[in-house]
Amino acid sequence: MRRILILGSTGSIGTQALDVIRANPGRFEVVGLAAGTNHEAVAAQAAEFQVEYTAMGAVEAEQLVRDVDADVVLNGITGSVGLGPTIAALETGRTLALANKESLIVGGELVTSIAEPGQIVPVDSEHSALAQALRSGTSAEVRRLVVTASGGPFRGRDRASLTEVTPAQALAHPTWDMGRVVTTNSATLVNKGLEVIEAHLLFGVPYDRIDVVVHPQSIVHSMVEFIDGSTIAQASPPDMRLPISLGLDWPHRIGGVGLPLNWTTATSWTFEPLDDDAFPAVRLAKRVGRAGGTFPAVFNAANEQAVDAFHEGRLPFLGIVELIERVVDAHEAPTALTRESLAEAEAWARRAADALIEKS
């Protein structure tokens, strides 16, 4: 029986993880729960799963990781505040089921230098798909990674048509039900840029061998192309319980977690190239990823400020990525990459972004 510690237990990832655990009572034991501010929900979860140890906020969550005896830490915290718990999980030797992509992207080499091979199991659907497909060959046999994108609510539109986009339109995602920041990131494709950085850090494939392709049906979650010309794709209906279940018990599969595809009815899957002019976020993210150091932290922090400003009516939709690029261009990286230098870079990026927003 695997002992599971869930961070972000009241959010989308956490509640779906508890669904998986609830359906498999002899396979998992929940030993700890952490959330942001919803005390009542955490208390109800702790009562249901007979959990003794709980925490509120990222600081308490990090301490909980260090104190509680767990086999797997599922980090479903939102935002870069998840960095501390991610580092704690790795330093204590736990398997890290990572849904908090920001902690890996922001932490970069600081996180990967701590992680043992195979210690991080990705929970993002795209990276879980890549991890599954990569089992079909050795690292030397991989030609490229292909990360799929739904294209968001503005797929197929040119740059000129995006000038008057409203927050309500940006939140109308065609496939996934996500929070405000992630849904907006999907509309700008900043989310896909972050996922490209994450793929590089997880699997060590250079940026020039990581591609993004638009796949509006969201059935093929990502693909791996091998040197012999074959491509292995992971396909399933869009349901996060599948990658969550793999994160909890990697590399083992759990029966009945999700519904399989229906092969008895006619269906079509389409793939389209990414329009870098209308959606330049992926191109910028690759540049930021190559720069490394604190640049991804600056990218992420500037984006969060820009998204807030967009929803408050202080920045146009196209201004989000434009603002991120201006902040990245102004950044001067410190000589050492530490938790302190990352925090300082993030704080600087937020101040720089806010100053530019005020002038816009």
* pLDDT single digits (tens) 115-125: 999 999 999 99
Between CA 118 and CA 124 the distance in angstroms is 16
Average pLDDT over residues 138-161: 95
Over 70: is that where the pLDDT of 176 sits?
no
- pLDDT surpassing 90 at residue 249: yes
Any idea what DSSP says for residue 274? -
Q: Residue 335: what pLDDT?
A: 84
Model-level pTM? Answer: 0.94
pLDDT in tens, 272-316: 999 999 999 999 999 999 999 999 999 999 999 999 999 999 999
Say whether the peptide bond before residue 117 is cis (omega within 30 degrees of 0): no
Provide the 8-state DSSP code for 214.
Answer: E
pLDDT in tens, 306-349: 999 999 999 999 999 999 999 999 999 888 899 999 999 999 99
Q: Which residues of 188-225 are buried (b: 16+ CB within 10 A; e: fewer)?
A: bbbbbbbbbbbbbbbbebeeeebbbbbbbbbbbbbbbb
> 30-44, 75-89, 166-180 — which is least confidently predicted?
166-180
At 58, list the tokens: 């990222």
pLDDT in tens, 16-61: 999 999 999 999 999 999 999 899 999 999 999 999 999 999 999 9
SS3 call for 284: helix
Query: In whole angstroms, what is the distance from residue 84 CA to residue 150 CA?
Result: 31
Q: Which domains does the chain have, with CATH numbers?
A: 2-123 (3.40.50.720), 132-216+272-359 (1.10.1740.10)
The closest alpha carbon to 114, from 100, 138, 94, belongs to: 94
- Within a 13 Å sphere around the CA of 128, how many CA atoms are in the beta-carbon half? 26
Residue 74's H or E segment, with its range, is strand 72-75
Q: Are 37 and 65 in contact (CB under 8 A)?
A: no
**Mean of pLDDT over the chain:** 95
Of the candidates 199, 208, 194, which has an alpha carbon nearest to the alpha carbon of residue 295? Answer: 194
Average pLDDT over residues 198-214: 98
